[in-house]
Structure 1
Amino acid sequence: MSHSSTLSPSPADESWTVSGHDGAPLLVIGAGPKAIALAVKSHVLRAVGFDVPEVIAVERDRPAANWCEGRGWTNGRQPLGTLPEKDLGFPYDCAVWGDSQDPVMGELAQRMTGFSWTGHLLDRGGYARWIDRGRPQPSHREWADYLEWAADRVGLRTVIGEVRRAELVDGGWALGVDSGNGQTVVHGCGLVVSGPGPATGVVPTDGDRVLSTGDFWRLTAEGLPEWARRVMVVGAGETAGTIVRELALSLDRDVTVVTPRATVYSRGESPFENRYYSDPTGWAGLTEADRREFIRRTDRAVFSQEVQRELAPAANVTWEPGRVVGTRHTDDGQFVVDLVYAQKQRRLPTDLVVDATGGDPLWFGQILGPRAEGALRAALGGPVTRDGVERAIDASLAVTGLPAPLHLPNLAAFAQGPGFPNLSSLGLLSDRVLAAYTPSAHRESARSRTRRSPATSRTEQTGSRFSLPSTNAGAAHP
């Protein structure tokens, strides 16, 4: 199989020569943290002699766009929900590539620290100031700056446009990309679906009284209307938590959180829970019930402890258990939300509703071509369901049984570990994915070549003017 051409046709020919699996790149939909972590690890691995694919991201906006204001997911001022030391290389464990005593592994880890959060601060001259301020959580905007810095340093190649079709072709993947000025086809050996996809929600939005997450952040940038004094937020995850914090603390609105359970729970963040996020060793040995309970208590429909602490003194936040089944205007002019809980329906008046229940993790199914969709159904042995996909995720975070790898880290928590869908183990995620394209025999050959190669300069090793081991202490997750 040959993948000599990466892009075809292109309105402006550009050199897209790549190295790696038969010369074909690894394609990533979205240029966010996962894509950038993969690009950094690929860059570093190739620098020490490993034959791994180059990474090409397809992004409709810009790298790290979802972490910036104006893109519909944040206003940029919200604090990061994960410790910044859990950065693009965390947990800096090179076990996938060789024995920890091998000098090549030390070089690999050292090079990766050049792309760490602290490496970024050192390169920008802000490290001492960050330490002196007590190592505060960066804002989403500051985290975006870090991600863009790393993407720029490794030269992440990005195709700007929206993916309209993903199809299996000749043992690889072909993405049909709409750039707004025409169609481009991007070919690769594997495909990673990294983004959250479009926000779906559970309530039909109208952009007026019922807002999606994107509608909310766009409206707050313009100025939330004064008539919206009572706001109902549907959802109890971290997306909802940031919206509740903005409404209650920054905008001084009365907020009711609609949660599917008895109350708004806080996220478990002790060392016992966090260990599985950083190191999922033993995860697959847990019972299914325990794995799902763990994910439910630590990552789904829970507010972070930081958000809980900030909201604790607020008298303008309450909650209602239930499921929203509709919204409507009543005959007396009120706008109400219909809730169902314990098979009983209630009606609650409000001024505004924000649906913060997030996106559909199976959104990629909408862009699969007929061959890809048929192959996925065959691999799952039936319809494409969330449970079916979650059970089929292998160690490389890909669906087992497809002719070309389809990596779905956002659906890998149940089978492989809770840290893969979020920011908790980006370094391990990139190791798992890239190792799938490098057989163990090739890894040994690469290590042997590296041992015989002359030493490189410190700047070349780290990718930064400075290098400082990341202070990987603690472990929250987004």
Structure 2
Amino acid sequence: MSQSSTLFPASVAGTRSTSRHGGAPLLVIGAGPKAVALAVKSSVLRAVGFDVPEIVALERDRTAANWLAGRGWTNGRQRLGTLPEKDLGFPYDCTTWGESHDPVTGEIAQRMAGFSWASHLQDRGLYARWIDRSRPQPSHREWADYLEWAADRSGLRTVIGEVRAAELRGGDWALTVDDGTDRFAVHGAGLLVSGPGPAAGVLPADGARVLDTAGFWKMAVEGFPDWAETVVVVGAGETAGTIVRELALGQDRKVTVVAPRATLYSRGESPFENRYYSDPTGWAGLSETDRQEFIRRTDRAVFSQEVQSDLALTTNVSWEPGRVVGTRPADGQVAVEIAYGEQHRLHRADLVVDATGGDPLWFTGLLGPLAEDALRAALGGAVTRERIERSIDSSLAVPGLPAPLHLPNLAALAQGPGFPNLSSLGLLSDRVLARYVPDVHADDTAVAEARSGSRTTARAGAPGSHHLDTSGAAQR
């Protein structure tokens, strides 16, 4: 993998690209599963002749950092909540790029299978052992190993540094990156925002008695203090579920979960719910009310069935309905104020963990004035979560911007519930990359056609018609 101060398309004499990216890369903030899935699909598509952008990840840490201990989201030992077979290529339906009988679609699927979870285990000599152990869920650390393996094999290029700003420049994105010693610009034809962003809870964390998600996992890695015998966990999503499991089973602490609804619901996991995650065909035809209820019931403020099954083994977990509206010190403990309906009550605990997750609009703080104005104009008003969620198009982008801004984490309502999570990474990469290829239309209403003429022209355009320019780095 290469690092660079500047990225830009190189001119190639005698070639004419018919792409919508002009040889410039697609930039991804964060080198996590979505970036790796895009890199894998991009490398496969370019190998069979499609002129799709190369993927360049902007990462402040390392590939799959959020899946490793010490990065603020896990201790690495937690088990993956999604089946590992739902890997970087899932669902392996390549008809975005041609008819089902077109040989190219079969070749794409076959090449993608070389990046599967099973292929990773076979390459590591672990496949038979995994099968003999009844295919257990991998730990987050094992999943990170898979992502790093695939990133290396696909040639994902990563620029190490913190993205400080994102601005629109002449129909492209220009990102300002800080690597700790210098600031430099990285340019691309499109921008995809991945990852949860910084933990943003409802309570101000003090790093001692009131912790955010990052503070909790830091404490879990360093060792839990003996005084923290009773813990209140705020939140009822998967982030909260893994924290509750670690506290109750891993640390043998008494845990009270404060959830906004009457009880701790489990995620729907029947073939009927799962089908919309793997194949959102018909999703847009549902009423918005039904789509919101589906997401609420299966993905938001619910624990996975695996977490629920684990918690059934302990009596250490209880719950209280309501919302936490504040905390205050109380004789060496924390008094947690909980509002439920018209009632307010106090619950005391040694420790409080705010596990309500990240802010899905965190990226807006990076936008420069031109980008912010363009996004506001595209949305027809103030930049709100509701406006963005309703606007997302089939490429998982906000329509109407000079350069694509892909926001899969906000695409559930408009495009399907699997895009914000790990449920359909292969379909996500198809939807995004098809945006940059003429005559390919990736949506859930018709099978897209990748015309043979387009592929022939794309081959003439030569994958690799752009490069990393390291001259800026040499001049620092």
Q: Confirm or deny a common fold (TM above 0.5).
A: yes
Identity %: 74
Partner of 2:218: 218
Partner of 2:451: 444
Secondary structure, in 3 states, of the residue corresponding to 1:187? strand
Correspondence 1:381 to 2:380? yes
CA shift at 1:362, angstroms? 0.4
Secondary structure, in 3 states, of the residue corresponding to 2:255? strand
Contact 2:96 2:450 in 1 (8 A): no
Relative to 1, partners in 2 of residues 1:9 and 1:286: Cα closer, same or farther, differing over 3 Å? closer
* Equivalences for residues 357-396 of structure 1 within 5 A: 357-396=356-395
Partner of 2:54: 54
Contact 1:177 1:183 in 2 (8 A): yes
Secondary structure, in 3 states, of the residue corresponding to 1:23? coil
Which amino acid in structure 2 is aligned with residue 445 of structure 1? S
Which amino acid in structure 2 is aligned with residue 145 of structure 1? D
Partner of 2:247: 247
Contact 1:267 1:297 in 2 (8 A): yes
* Equivalences for residues 70-469 of structure 1 within 5 A: 70-330=70-330, 332-440=331-439, 443-445=450-452, 449=456
Secondary structure, in 3 states, of the residue corresponding to 1:224? coil
- What is the distance in 1 between the residues matched to 2:452 and 2:187? 27
CA shift at 1:96, angstroms? 0.9
- What is the distance in 1 between the residues matched to 2:108 and 2:334? 59
Secondary structure, in 3 states, of the residue corresponding to 1:262? coil
Relative to 1, partners in 2 of residues 1:394 and 1:130: Cα closer, same or farther, differing over 3 Å? same
- What is the distance in 2 between the residues matched to 1:48 and 1:187? 26
- What is the distance in 2 between the residues matched to 1:236 and 1:446? 51
Relative to 1, partners in 2 of residues 1:412 and 1:225: Cα closer, same or farther, differing over 3 Å? same
- What is the distance in 2 between the residues matched to 1:15 and 1:171? 14
Partner of 2:38: 38
Contact 1:7 1:187 in 2 (8 A): no
- What is the distance in 2 between the residues matched to 1:95 and 1:445? 14
Partner of 1:465: none
Contact 2:9 2:24 in 1 (8 A): no
Contact 1:171 1:404 in 2 (8 A): yes
Relative to 1, partners in 2 of residues 1:9 and 1:117: Cα closer, same or farther, differing over 3 Å? closer
User: Once the two structures are superposed, what CA deviation does each residue of 1:268-319 show, in whole Å capped at 9, x if it has no partner?
Assistant: 0000000000000000000011000000000000000111011113111000
Partner of 2:464: none
Which sections of structure 1, spanning at least 5 residues, go unmatched?
1-5, 454-478
CA shift at 1:68, angstroms? 0.6
Contact 2:6 2:187 in 1 (8 A): no
Partner of 1:475: none
User: Once the two structures are superposed, what CA deviation does each residue of 1:140-171 show, in whole Å capped at 9, x if it has no partner?
Assistant: 00000000000001111000011000000010
Relative to 1, partners in 2 of residues 1:223 and 1:15: Cα closer, same or farther, differing over 3 Å? farther
Secondary structure, in 3 states, of the residue corresponding to 1:71? coil
User: Once the two structures are superposed, what CA deviation does each residue of 1:240-259 show, in whole Å capped at 9, x if it has no partner?
Assistant: 00000000001000000010
- What is the distance in 2 between the residues matched to 1:298 and 1:339? 25
User: Once the two structures are superposed, what CA deviation does each residue of 1:25-73 show, in whole Å capped at 9, x if it has no partner?
Assistant: 0000000000000000000000000000000000000010000111110
Secondary structure, in 3 states, of the residue corresponding to 1:376? helix
Contact 1:258 1:323 in 2 (8 A): yes
Secondary structure, in 3 states, of the residue corresponding to 1:337? strand
Contact 2:49 2:455 in 1 (8 A): no
CA shift at 1:335, angstroms? 2.2
- What is the distance in 2 between the residues matched to 1:158 and 1:15? 16
- What is the distance in 1 between the residues matched to 2:82 and 2:291? 21
Contact 1:7 1:16 in 2 (8 A): no
Contact 1:51 1:446 in 2 (8 A): no
Secondary structure, in 3 states, of the residue corresponding to 2:195? coil
Relative to 1, partners in 2 of residues 1:447 and 1:84: Cα closer, same or farther, differing over 3 Å? farther
CA shift at 1:402, angstroms? 0.7
CA shift at 1:222, angstroms? 1.0
Compare 94-103 and 434-443 and name the one that shifted more. Answer: 434-443
Relative to 1, partners in 2 of residues 1:34 and 1:292: Cα closer, same or farther, differing over 3 Å? same
Which amino acid in structure 1 is aligned with residue 70 of structure 2? G
User: Once the two structures are superposed, what CA deviation does each residue of 1:158-196 show, in whole Å capped at 9, x if it has no partner?
Assistant: 000110000000101000000001012000000000111
CA shift at 1:221, angstroms? 1.0
- What is the distance in 2 between the residues matched to 1:398 and 1:225? 45
CA shift at 1:81, angstroms? 0.3
CA shift at 1:448, angstroms? 5.8
Which amino acid in structure 2 is aligned with residue 290 of structure 1? D
- What is the distance in 1 between the residues matched to 2:455 and 2:325? 62
User: Once the two structures are superposed, what CA deviation does each residue of 1:363-407 show, in whole Å capped at 9, x if it has no partner?
Assistant: 000000000000000011110000000011000000011111000
Correspondence 1:65 to 2:72? no
CA shift at 1:446, angstroms? 6.0
- What is the distance in 1 between the residues matched to 2:184 and 2:394? 31
CA shift at 1:444, angstroms? 1.5
- What is the distance in 1 between the residues matched to 2:5 and 2:147? 29
Contact 1:56 1:157 in 2 (8 A): yes
Relative to 1, partners in 2 of residues 1:9 and 1:33: Cα closer, same or farther, differing over 3 Å? closer
Relative to 1, partners in 2 of residues 1:439 and 1:397: Cα closer, same or farther, differing over 3 Å? same
- What is the distance in 1 between the residues matched to 2:96 and 2:452? 15
- What is the distance in 2 between the residues matched to 1:124 and 1:225? 38
CA shift at 1:8, angstroms? 5.1
- What is the distance in 2 between the residues matched to 1:410 and 1:249? 30
- What is the distance in 2 between the residues matched to 1:213 and 1:143? 20
Secondary structure, in 3 states, of the residue corresponding to 2:96? coil
Q: TM-score, normalised by structure 1?
A: 0.90
CA shift at 1:443, angstroms? 3.5
Which amino acid in structure 2 is aligned with residue 379 of structure 1? A
Contact 1:242 1:307 in 2 (8 A): yes
CA shift at 1:440, angstroms? 1.4
- What is the distance in 1 between the residues matched to 2:67 and 2:124? 19
Secondary structure, in 3 states, of the residue corresponding to 2:233? strand
Contact 1:50 1:443 in 2 (8 A): no
CA shift at 1:445, angstroms? 3.4
- What is the distance in 2 between the residues matched to 1:139 and 1:447? 42
